[in-house]
Amino acid sequence: MGKRYLFIIIFFVTNSLHAASCCGGGGSSSLIIIADNLSELSISSTFRNNIGESTSGGEGNFYPSSVKDHTYIHLLEYKSMFSEKWQTGHSLSFIQKNLSKNGKSASFNHLGDYSFALNYETVSNYSYTLWPRIFLGLRFNIPFGNNLYHSSKDLNADVVGNGYYQFGPSLILAKDGYLFSLLPTYSPAQDGIPHFFLISLSLSKSYVFDEWSVAPLTRWNFTSNKENLAKKIQNWDLGITFSYLFNTLYSLDIGYTDNTLLGKSINAPLAREVMVKINWSENL
């Protein structure tokens, strides 16, 4: 297998892991091209099963089996280079919720969020250096769905996606199959909800076996207090993605993410996710 082929596999997988967010609404996605591609298009469907909440003391409070809290997230992503160093990324989610609690049932379908990212490759990767590739960027989120505080449906069924206008910088490091990202996000005061910030810190590593590859990921998500409204939220995602590269243009990812298995979770929804994603790329 050519080195270039291997390189493409590695970075399809690591990018997919970043797109698989757990429990944060829209989650934090790096929306970045790392392989040698001019553009990338992907479509994914994620099934999220919310299975409980964590308390402020970090205890897991799991739902009884009679409770159903299911979310289907369909995500369209497009990323493209517009110069040697600069690139943009766009994503749009459509979300379906099916809930059954308290003897009530509710369903809701709606657009989730539109996210936009602008990234610049600050340091390129040369095999004779120890430096990773370093990308700096800006991210913006525009919500189409309600957040928790403006819900008007039973069981908060209309809370889809992130629900807030947000923006923030990004720092992404990539080397030898490792991908590290630091994504701080600021949510300005809006519609009576005070400002707050979020931080997402993740690390993943890809292992390649011919056309197949596997990549574990760990990610720490933190949401600050909302003054006089809500306390901080913290959780840890643990994920794994299997990827199959059909050729240099198409690949398939299957991922699993769970935020009940690693680290202390505080005031956070507990969820497990399964994702299927098809990627298409336009090679350089």
Partner 1 sequence: MYVKIFIIGLMLFFLGCGKPPVLNRISEKNIFGQITQMNQEKFPSTQLEFSLKWLVPPSLESLSTVEINFNTNLPKQYLLEAEIVMKEHGHGSSPIVIEYSLERNSIKLSELSFFMTGKWTLILTVKEHNQTIDQWEKDIYL
Binding site residues, partner 1, CB under 8 A: 52-56, 58-64, 66-67, 101-104, 148-149, 154-156, 176-178, 203, 205, 216, 218, 220, 226, 229-231, 236, 259-265, 267, 270
> Taking CA 155 as the corner, what is the angle to CA 69 and CA 62, rounded to the nearest 5 degrees?
40
Q: How far is the CB of 144 from partner 1 (least distance, A)?
A: 21
Comparing C-alpha atoms, which of 215, 231, 238 is closest to residue 267? Answer: 231
Is the CB of 230 or the CB of 252 nearer to partner 1? 230
Residue 175 β-bridge partners:
178
**Residue 4 vs 104, nearer CB to partner 1:** 104
What CA–CA distances, in Å, run from 236 to 80, 164, 217? 30, 21, 10
Instruction: Provide the minimum distance between the beta carbon of 234 and partner 1 in the complex, in angstroms, as a whole number.
Output: 8
Is 61:53 a contact under the CB 8 Å cutoff?
yes
Which one, 195 or 264, has the nearer CB to partner 1? Answer: 264
Q: How far is the CB of 84 from partner 1 (least distance, A)?
A: 28
21: exposed, middle or buried (Cβ count in 10 Å: 0-12, 13-18, 19+): buried
Task: Check: CB of residue 19 under 8 Å from CB of residue 205.
Answer: no
Helices and strands (H, E) in the chain, number of each type: 1, 14
| 54 vs 71, beta carbon nearer partner 1 | 54
CB of 235 to partner 1, least distance (A): 9
Least CB distance to partner 1 at residue 133 (A): 16
- By C-beta, is 63 or 280 nearer to partner 1? 63
Distance of closest approach, residue 265 Cβ to partner 1, in angstroms: 5
Three-state DSSP class for residue 233? strand
- Looking at the Cβ atoms of 268 and 275, the one nearer to partner 1 is 268
Closest CA to 76 of 113, 27, 25: 113
